[in-house]
Amino acid sequence: MTPETLLKQYFGYDTFRTGQRELIGHILAGEDVLGIMPTGAGKSLCYQIPALLLPGLTVVISPLISLMQDQVTALQTSGIPAAFLNSSLSEEAYRETLSAVYRREVKILYAAPERLETQSFTNIAHEIPVSMVTVDEAHCVSQWGQDFRPSYLRILQFLEQLPTRPVISAFTATATKEVADDIVRILGLREPFSLTTGFDRTNLFFGVQQPRDKFRALTEFIHTHEGQSGIVYCLTRKLVEQVTEDLCEQGISATRYHAGLSDEERRQNQEDFIFDRKDVMVATNAFGMGIDKSDVRFVVHYNMPKNIESYYQEAGRAGRDGSPADCILFYNGQDVRTNQFMIDNSSGNDLLDAETQARIRQQDMERLKHMTFYCTRHECLRHYLLQYFGETAPGYCGNCSTCQTNYEERDISVEALKIVSCVYRLQQIGLQFGVNALADILIGSKAEKYDKFHFEGRLSTYGILSELTQKQCTDMIRFLIAEQWLSQGGEFHAVLLNTNSAKLIKERPSISMNIVKELPPAPAKRRSGVPEDLDEKLYLLLKETRKAIASKEHVPAYVIFTDTTLQDMCRKKPMHDMAFLSVSGVGQVKLEKYGTRFMRVIRDYASGNT
């Protein structure tokens, strides 16, 4: 057996993705490895395939019970002897699993790091030859990681008391050097082969929007993705509650997740989402770690998150199956302040001294700034993200909101002069306003809240940019602030004059800015969310079949086949075994288990019986 044949036979794929084959090769050569690959890149295969080829047991240390369960179910469905040991098992099931391990019937054993410290586990590890220990989500060992877990620090102790030292492989999606160094040091990796693959996820569309009414924008977006799974991330628990309630009121099938809910409700809601009983999961960042659901078709950030690392990890939960998916961020200036507040008031980590905590806080502020740039600069979003992770990337990707919106460079010298003059006139009558109100005044808003100022008659610059939309006007003001022709400050973030403002009025330099062209609305997608090139009716029949099997077997639908596999099947319309095997994601076991059933649907459909 070679890695290639195992890939086809068990997982149903023809080719390895970038990095997978190298990592597998080095593990099989007996070397420690560190694989740094983005979410959805396919890290699991990198240790699962060697595990099948190595003589002894592979122990996979995984942070969460739900994650283990899903992975083990998926492996078993593909005919791979895998099991897990954790506190969710009944005493009897636990004992049964242990004896299966003793009988050498298990090749891959998942466990949480806490488990390694138990007597029963140490006993197995002494009696059964352990060929490899894999640490998945290895950033958990690092205090720089997002999800630091002290019990990870004791893995090395476990390894040191084994009769022979197994190969150690570690995997993470966190790309910073600090995290990588910590992993190598804390796990005691010996001259590891370390591989970082490209961070680009080409199937993901990245978008930033600044909707005036976020909730409306959200419901409109969800309606164009009807029947698809998606996650909506909110910054606070309160907002999670509110958005979930409002969505349900609109008839959208939504559920919620945050750290304030009972364990039971969290488990239930997560399961509802994974098993497609609910389409939309509204959650704080507490949700997602340990979610391997591969058919998440969109991730909307209702608020801007605290840094690019979190954003890319959360957004990256979309489209793990490789099919197109959308990652949309709703930006609003308020999000910056909420994040600042959260950083200022974070309780910190008790394990760290004050100096380190102060440094981390400062680093957090710096990261927040980069996140804000992502939302406000008019660069290709993919370019910005990849640059942030230290990769070079072209300035145009064609698959983000910046690239898909046309820009035109326009001379805005006159508008700039009018804006700055307005701030100046307002100051003369003792008034200051924030960006939005200033834009309102410039375009001559008749909103009631301005009545008391009696601008008409007393402010010559009131309404001097009435030809602009509110958005165009706020964009220009923000641009002038970014270019330091104006400042922003004080308790209410008022727009203020600075030394450059005076220069602008006196010297009248020419100023140009990239302005978004107003485009006709994008053509409506199919409401069912079925890709345009597919036979919609057949695809929905295949989905129904998958759903029926999944609920009978009590597994999530994507464990049977991913969306990508179902789409390939819909295109290839296989009617005999060889053709069915050629569908990406169909291995031998799945052919035997499900082939007949799906091919019957396809045949019936082709002969017009449905």
Q: Which residues bind Mg ion (CB under 5 A)?
A: 43
Binding residue for ligand ADP (CB under 6 A) from 139, 320, 383, 543? 320
CB nearer to ligand ADP: pick between 462 and 561: 561
Which value, to the nearest 10 degrees, does the dihedral of the CA atoms of residues 81, 1, 194, 309 take? -50
Q: Which stretch binds ligand ADP (CB under 6 A): 43-51, 57-65, 303-311, 594-602?
A: 43-51
Least CB distance to Mg ion at residue 562 (A): 14
Binding residue for ligand ADP (CB under 6 A) from 3, 19, 42, 587? 42
CB nearer to ligand ADP: pick between 312 and 331: 312
Give yes or no for residue 439 binding ligand ADP (CB under 6 A): no
Which burial class, exposed, middle or buried, applies to 211 when counting CB atoms under 10 A from its CB (0-12, 13-18, 19+)? middle
Do residues 109 and 81 touch, judged by C-beta distance below 8 A?
no
Give yes or no for residue 43 binding ligand ADP (CB under 6 A): yes
Pick what 45 binds: ligand ADP, Mg ion, none; C-beta below 5 to 8 Å, kind-dependent: ligand ADP
Q: Which of residues 11-30 bind ligand ADP (CB under 6 A)?
A: 13, 16-17, 20
User: Residue 222: helix, strand or coil by DSSP?
Assistant: helix
Binding residue for ligand ADP (CB under 6 A) from 23, 27, 45, 412? 45
CA distance 444 to 60: 64
Give per-residue burial for 141-157: e unless 16+ CB within 10 Å, then b. Answer: bbbbbbebbebbbebee
Binding residue for ligand ADP (CB under 6 A) from 276, 314, 321, 335? 321
Do residues 129 and 164 touch, judged by C-beta distance below 8 A?
yes
CA distance 594 to 602: 13
Do residues 365 and 343 touch, judged by C-beta distance below 8 A?
yes
Q: Which stretch binds ligand ADP (CB under 6 A): 41-49, 106-114, 468-476, 601-609?
A: 41-49
CB nearer to ligand ADP: pick between 16 and 374: 16
Q: Which stretch binds ligand ADP (CB under 6 A): 34-42, 145-153, 160-168, 476-484?
A: 34-42
Pick what 335 binds: Mg ion, ligand ADP, none; C-beta below 5 to 8 Å, kind-dependent: none
Pick what 218 binds: ligand ADP, Mg ion, none; C-beta below 5 to 8 Å, kind-dependent: none
Binding residue for ligand ADP (CB under 6 A) from 276, 292, 309, 314? 292
Least CB distance to Mg ion at residue 44 (A): 5
Distance of CA 459 to the CA centre of its chain: 48
DSSP 466-491: TTS-HHHHHHHHHHHHHTTSSEEETT
CA distances from 601 to 339, 546, 566, 571 (A): 51, 11, 13, 14
CB nearer to Mg ion: pick between 43 and 383: 43
CA distance 242 to 256: 10
Supply 406's token pair.
């046309």
Pick what 331 binds: Mg ion, ligand ADP, none; C-beta below 5 to 8 Å, kind-dependent: none
CA distance 429 to 419: 16
The residues of the shown chain that bind ligand ADP, judged by CB under 6 A, are 13, 16-17, 20, 37, 39-45, 292, 294, 320-321, 562
